[in-house]
Structure 1
């Protein structure tokens, strides 16, 4: 359960690093206890605070990281709504890393869905305490008092401002959670409304602080020559040559371990008084490295091997029903194999962190998605207690999951300890791409049988993908049911005979999650194969999706031996609802001219996916003239349950579609000799303005279901929708990404 607790001003300051006067509210979530801070029952941890100043200013702590999603706006606006605070009098303050907040891990599209109810309860508790305070002042029943627009109003018409009640409200006992009345949706002032980002003005004027903007007195800068191949170690380098570069003050070796988790990989750091000096000194190192078992790794050769395995050999069964072999033998058989490459995050701002280690502990400033993991990792590499590490969260110039791996913060901490001064580790774009936690390459093979009516009677699917688990366990080589739950293992199709299999795929590079994770390759495979089956059955692809999903029902995969992972939520709270899945497909075809007559060389493609508890359908219109591919339009429909800030959802979906466009058209990291061959935007491009369609539209399905994920679900259907559109335009089926292998884009 969720517990609300009153906290002392001292504890508030310790957890947030800000000063305040008046009312303080804390909400605790069941997670790791820090009894030394709040002294609560075991299992509860502080999640969020509200403070009310005597001048009426409401301070709301944002405990999640802002990277363009608007989460520093969306969560506080929920609190403000239930509190009846005037949004113009709300100040949002970034919280420091603290286990007391509950999870601060800002990835997995979890922020609103995990904290919506808690935020409402916090606002309602503050409102209740203000109403009780006013009732005592006026000596009237609290039932006659009602908070409204930053004031408490009595039934006789008199009112008092929130600020005037701040001190006395802080003395009120916190109400019991189960007695807190929450607003009806009809009374929402901010929830469900377009509230501009609280950071928008500063972002547009350059007044914000990103990771690279941090500047401390006496700060030094570090550039690190990291191992080029996984598993290698430093063999030799010339520290003397590096120190001859003007401004270089130190050369330090960072020892690495395998698997490294989120710790630094092996490298040699050059530390200087200027970034340029550190980079030039690094170039003078002339470092050499030992060999490792991964020195022969070639991405193309490896994918060929994986493709051969999935297309010709049975794998480990993950989910099964009926008799697939008999069905495949009896019906019209359709088969296809798909391959997707390694991918890099390539966010606009590379990883950046500054650290200062003193006798008192360590303070970090970082563009991190996971301040708590940063605190834990830095503490571990320094041999400190976590409470000795303070983590300040800057704005993030994009994250996409890369900045939830705090290796770069640990590097800064180790180097600061070595030189006794604050150190900023500067990752160049080349560092960012060559030393990423890469998104896995993937090989998939599908077979299906179709009867005389065009119905699919059997479905066989195999995959081989290096698992993310290798980040912590080098021996891991088989995808878990939890990872396979991302589209591949959780297909909702009403097919009587089905078998899903996996092949082993050891990792040859650091593997990590990227925006929508395994839904990217599996969304491409499933979304493309459904389209192939629709054409084989001579049916409209959109109608075929709906037919394949079948009757309205709530899915349960347990009877088929599959341990479905519902993105951390129970199916009782977030059921897998086929009616909602079909609903976004129907709504999409109603918002676009699906089925329109098009000129030669143009076509529409459609695909859909459920990911992060949301349902998304995407349709793309393309033109192909000779070898030139152009995406003309992109449309999406999302059913994400209750939406807090529609403007931010539209922005996230538009961004997700452009992100997916980049991956579909151009995204590929290749390896030769164990080393990634790409280094910057010239050979790992992202979509330019001229490549983005003039028409990008998103529709939000009205829903009263619980809030679901938004940041990632828009990505998976994009690539298959584009590839399917290319088939509709040309009759050519492309089963390998990216599409610039076949076209100019």
Structure 2
């Protein structure tokens, strides 16, 4: 969010404000309504059979959002859960995710402007239809909207039933999909759904009271599970269109790579091969099946010219270290005054590093496109559909309205589908061949062209006072900002190497978001030293919290050892002002049988808070031969009053496994602009046998539900590293813990 944009939104320039105000401010739902369906608002349709159709604007990536949001609506409506269905939302300003936009686009200007800055970002998000999925914002952003939709529909349906019965509508209610007047009269929702549209809502919308028959708080079955079990669930690679062909692609090494040449004639040897499609930066083969297309690419062996310095792990580390002595560093968070605390004092200092973490989603990048004279259609999973549609339209030279994007569920994106390049490529190939095309990246291509989480180096320093209290704390973090790069690519169309270079000298809070200590330390500061490591980076589960929690919680354990205080008590004594996190720590320790982190116990503990959620994890780990072994993980989480506790536990558990993968592998070395390995079996990823018992306890809370998708991932690695110290006596200060060589 630039200063100029803020001035437009905040009202500092009258002429610009007039232009801004002239934009439409009132938006109507743009949903298609089928025969027998009645539209209630942008989030709800009900048909004559009584089926409740919840409209979900967020991308389902396995996190359960396509169940949680409908559950909020169904609870307030009084629906029968067995009649609830889900439909993906079209692109509309009504579904903009202002919460993630505020987090992502906040700047010094918007923070200085206060409420005006927040308003400007919200307006920009709405008017740009920024439908974003990520960072656990889905429930916090849309919880109230789904409650309102359910409550409004309940009132209208009750009014329609009351008019038939000649009774006050306030005496009517809906339970399990049946409207009653408190006596013996009953109607199904579908019986009055058409009449309900003719009534108006009261000035104050009444919400459901009491706990009887409520769906919120119940472990209801996920709506997407049956179709995923029987195989009828459509992911991008499942789309089939008449006359469709298949494509595979090669995009060259990482960086500013342009296509040089290829042995075109070799492709003709492959049965089923149809055509080669070239652009400046990639070449695709089209065939009657994907295997033919991919085999043709293998045979033509395309070569690329790489301009600039190739990506190399050694150069990445050198760039991060050099950043500490550069002039782009900034102090972004500060409390108290560190200088008199550190002056002439004995301090503990440690250095840490985190390698770039890959996404490695089960589903490689994929999109299906059909380009005709009537318009363009694209089927793809995307966490930013409006930005994806705009990019496709721009690539084809069309208006946004000429492109129809069908948003699909993603097979475990964990942030990778913020980028839209597969959709653009599929559309360009489809236009070239004149037939519908399904483009599927190979696993090799998916790894080479991944946009990993940010690598980071940290220099931590602290001074201990009497009783083991931390009197001063300084964190210096050298890392690129993956979030800044991602926005530059998806919103401004920058090429990956261009976005990486532009962000190389920009210090930002997004890069050190997980570094603010949750403990009562009187004097502390966090400095960010930006760096251009040459590796394009992307949105990741946990984002900067992945390295932030690792640096903070590992260093805190070192301080506890120096102070001679067991690790949990050391943390608890500094959490007087943070009782929710203290409760999580004590609960995890009690559940796990915490032994105080004594030598040989193999137990480690870590705590973290993010986005209004609090969690602590205790692990039991060791080293068997040369391999990391994690026997047990116990998590205690305070994430507010969760809509579906079982899905919340699933999210925490999957986050812990994601964090375990980062500790064991999920990263690769780079040399000459390429990853040195790309097969999943060679990345030391955890297998089922490597994952021991996992227990997740949700602490009861009346606070608003917080997003928990990202919460577990940052905690696993520091807890494991702390556990290994009790076994080996050695501090593990790098991720992956066992190295990625």
For the criterion TM > 0.5, the same-fold answer is: yes
Separation of aligned partners in 1, 2:655 and 2:560? 26
Structure 1 residue 406: deviation in Å? 1.2
Q: Would you say 1:707 and 2:705 are equivalent positions?
A: yes
Match of 2:88 in 1: 94
SS of the aligned residue for 2:468 comes to coil
CA contact (8 A) 1:307 1:443 kept: yes
Of 296, 312, 316, 1:298 maps to 312
Of 32, 45, 55, 1:51 maps to 45
Match of 2:472 in 1: 458
Structure 1 residue 283: deviation in Å? 1.4
Of 483, 490, 495, 2:510 maps to 483
SS of the aligned residue for 2:66 comes to helix
Higher helix share: 2
CA contact (8 A) 1:602 1:624 kept: no
Structure 1 residue 437: deviation in Å? 1.1
Match of 1:536 in 2: 562
- Per-residue Cα deviation, 1:43-72 (whole angstroms, up to 9, x for no partner): xxxxx3322222222222222222221211
Structure 1 residue 722: deviation in Å? 0.1
Q: Would you say 1:137 and 2:193 are equivalent positions?
A: no
SS of the aligned residue for 1:607 comes to strand
SS of the aligned residue for 2:518 comes to coil
Separation of aligned partners in 2, 1:71 and 1:117? 15
CA contact (8 A) 1:602 1:623 kept: no
Instruction: Give the 3 Å change call, closer, same or farther, for CA 353–143 of structure 1 in structure 2.
Output: same
CA contact (8 A) 1:612 1:712 kept: no
SS of the aligned residue for 2:257 comes to coil
Q: Would you say 1:224 and 2:278 are equivalent positions?
A: no
SS of the aligned residue for 1:412 comes to helix
Structure 1 residue 492: deviation in Å? 2.7
- Per-residue Cα deviation, 1:178-203 (whole angstroms, up to 9, x for no partner): x1111236246211110111121221
Match of 1:204 in 2: 229
The residue correspondences of 1:656-695 to structure 2 (distance < 5 A) are 656-693=655-692, 695=693
Of 369, 381, 391, 2:383 maps to 369
Runs of 4 or more above 6 Å deviation: 4-8, 311-314
Structure 1 residue 325: deviation in Å? 3.4
- Per-residue Cα deviation, 1:384-432 (whole angstroms, up to 9, x for no partner): 2222221222332111000121111111011111111111111111111
- Per-residue Cα deviation, 1:294-339 (whole angstroms, up to 9, x for no partner): 32x3213421452465499994222233442332234431110001
Structure 1 residue 516: deviation in Å? 0.5
Q: Would you say 1:512 and 2:538 are equivalent positions?
A: yes
Q: Would you say 1:582 and 2:589 are equivalent positions?
A: no
- Per-residue Cα deviation, 1:331-386 (whole angstroms, up to 9, x for no partner): 43111000110111001111111000111111111133333332222122112222
Instruction: Give the 3 Å change call, closer, same or farther, for CA 347–303 of structure 1 in structure 2.
Output: same
Structure 1 residue 531: deviation in Å? 0.5
Q: Would you say 1:398 and 2:397 are equivalent positions?
A: no
Greater mean deviation of Cα atoms: 611-620 or 334-343: 611-620
CA contact (8 A) 1:20 1:51 kept: no
Separation of aligned partners in 2, 1:643 and 1:285? 54
- Per-residue Cα deviation, 1:634-689 (whole angstroms, up to 9, x for no partner): 01111111201111111111111111101111232211112222212023342101
- Per-residue Cα deviation, 1:482-522 (whole angstroms, up to 9, x for no partner): 3145211x223322322322223014122101111111111
Separation of aligned partners in 2, 1:452 and 1:86? 60
Separation of aligned partners in 2, 1:435 and 1:64? 25
Instruction: Give the 3 Å change call, closer, same or farther, for CA 370–188 of structure 1 in structure 2.
Output: farther
Structure 1 residue 480: deviation in Å? 4.2
Of 148, 157, 160, 2:175 maps to 148
Q: Please list every run of 5 or more consecutive structure 1 residues that lacks an aligned counterpart in the other structure.
A: 27-47, 256-265, 553-577
Separation of aligned partners in 2, 1:99 and 1:526? 39
Q: Would you say 1:12 and 2:31 are equivalent positions?
A: yes
Separation of aligned partners in 1, 2:210 and 2:262? 65
Separation of aligned partners in 1, 2:261 and 2:370? 29
Q: Would you say 1:592 and 2:592 are equivalent positions?
A: yes
Match of 1:449 in 2: 463
CA contact (8 A) 2:337 2:523 kept: yes
Structure 1 residue 458: deviation in Å? 1.3
Separation of aligned partners in 2, 1:381 and 1:411? 9
The residue correspondences of 1:235-384 to structure 2 (distance < 5 A) are 235-255=260-280, 266-295=281-310, 297-307=311-321, 310=324, 315-384=329-398
CA contact (8 A) 1:486 1:519 kept: yes
Q: Would you say 1:385 and 2:379 are equivalent positions?
A: no
Match of 2:551 in 1: 525
Instruction: Give the 3 Å change call, closer, same or farther, for CA 154–320 of structure 1 in structure 2.
Output: closer
Structure 1 residue 230: deviation in Å? 0.4
Greater mean deviation of Cα atoms: 166-175 or 398-407: 166-175
What is the aligned length?
672
CA contact (8 A) 1:234 1:290 kept: yes
Instruction: Give the 3 Å change call, closer, same or farther, for CA 669–378 of structure 1 in structure 2.
Output: same
TM-score (structure 2 length as normaliser): 0.86
Q: Please list every run of 5 or more consecutive structure 2 residues that lacks an aligned counterpart in the other structure.
A: 1-24, 98-130, 489-498
Instruction: Give the 3 Å change call, closer, same or farther, for CA 290–102 of structure 1 in structure 2.
Output: same
CA contact (8 A) 2:668 2:677 kept: yes
Match of 1:33 in 2: none
Match of 1:183 in 2: 208
Q: Would you say 1:470 and 2:485 are equivalent positions?
A: yes
Separation of aligned partners in 1, 2:461 and 2:149? 52
Separation of aligned partners in 2, 1:602 and 1:188? 47
CA contact (8 A) 2:357 2:667 kept: yes
Separation of aligned partners in 1, 2:585 and 2:663? 21
Structure 1 residue 206: deviation in Å? 1.6
Match of 1:562 in 2: none
